[in-house]
Amino acid sequence: MERIALFPGSFDPITRGHESIVRRALPLFDKIIVAIGVNEEKKSFFPLEKRKAWIETVFASAGQVEVVTYTGLTVHLCRELNVGFILRGLRTSADFEFERSIGQMNKKMLPGVETVFLLTTPEYTALNSHIVRDIIRHGGDASSFIPVGVHID
Ligand code: ADP
């Protein structure tokens, strides 16, 4: 059976931290589906189509990576796409507490799916999309925080 992992997030925008998690997870899975979650109650900073196109550019040469968008529960998407694993990145103890509760709730709802965590590499521990958005919003240079090949105008 194919080992398929779903990497859900808002990717608003994708950062080098996200990219690193996916690249390091590639040897573990046959396929990784990057799933951009759309929260209907929260407006994103970048449009969905741009966020998707940027991720597709980053992984254009990685045949095992697909990008999808979704609304609703991650476990419903897992069932629909028949994935066995949810991939998440851990930066800090705050991430751990947040992820623990989501991971345990997902396990209750869909016991056949395992959440797999990769620790962030030290250079990306402080990096998150929120900081990148702030830098861009205020006219700073965020290029060293976003993947090579992604051009945010
Ligand atoms: P963010 O927290 O940057 O807004 P998302 O909500 O899109 O990102 O998170 C998607 C997943 O990516 C989460 O598991 C999150 O922990 C992980 N992630 C985000 N930034 C990093 C990073 N710098 N290093 C490792 N994992 C990260």
Residue 44 in contact with ligand 1 by CB distance below 6 A: no
> How remote is the CA of residue 111 from the centroid of ligand 1, in Å?
23
**Residue 29 Cα distances to 44, 49, 122, 136, 146, angstroms:** 29, 26, 23, 34, 24
In this predicted model, what pLDDT tens digit does every residue of 28-53 receive, in sequence order?
Answer: 999 999 999 999 888 999 999 999 99
Could you give the percent of the chain with pLDDT greater than 90? 95
- Taking each helix axis from N to C end, the angle separating 93-109 and 74-81, rounded to the nearest 10 degrees, works out to 60
Assess if CATH 3.40.50.620 describes domain 4-137: yes
Q: Are residues 57 and 149 in contact, defined by beta-carbon separation less than 8 angstroms? A: yes
Tokens in use for 93?
């103890």
Q: What is the mean pLDDT of residues 9-17?
A: 98
Annotation says 10 is catalytic: no
Annotation says 51 is catalytic: no
Tell me the DSSP string of 27-66.
GG-SEEEEEEE--TTS--SS-HHHHHHHHHHHTTT-TTEE
Residue 136 CA to residue 91 CA, distance in Å, equals: 22
Q: What is the mean pLDDT of the chain?
A: 97
pLDDT band per the 50, 70, 90 thresholds, residue 69: very high
Could you give the percent of the chain with pLDDT greater than 70? 100
Asked whether the predicted pLDDT for residue 153 surpasses 80, the reply is no
Residue 150 CA to residue 19 CA, distance in Å, equals: 11
Residue 61 CA to residue 86 CA, distance in Å, equals: 22
| 39 vs 25, more confident | 25
Q: What is the mean pLDDT of residues 72-87?
A: 98
Q: In the chain, where are the structural domains located?
A: 4-137
* pLDDT in the model for residue 146: 98
In this predicted model, what pLDDT tens digit does every residue of 85-133 receive, in sequence order?
Answer: 999 999 999 999 999 999 999 999 999 999 999 999 999 999 999 999 9
Beta strands in the chain (DSSP E): 4-9, 31-37, 65-70, 85-90, 114-119
* pLDDT in the model for residue 45: 97
pLDDT band per the 50, 70, 90 thresholds, residue 139: very high
**Using the 8-state DSSP alphabet, how is residue 14 labeled?**
-
Other CB atoms within 10 Å distance of the CB of residue 100: 13
Atom of ligand 1 lying closest to residue 124 CA: 23
What are residue 98's phi and psi, to 5 degrees?
-65, -50
Report which protein residue has its CA nearest ligand 1's atom 6.
Answer: 9
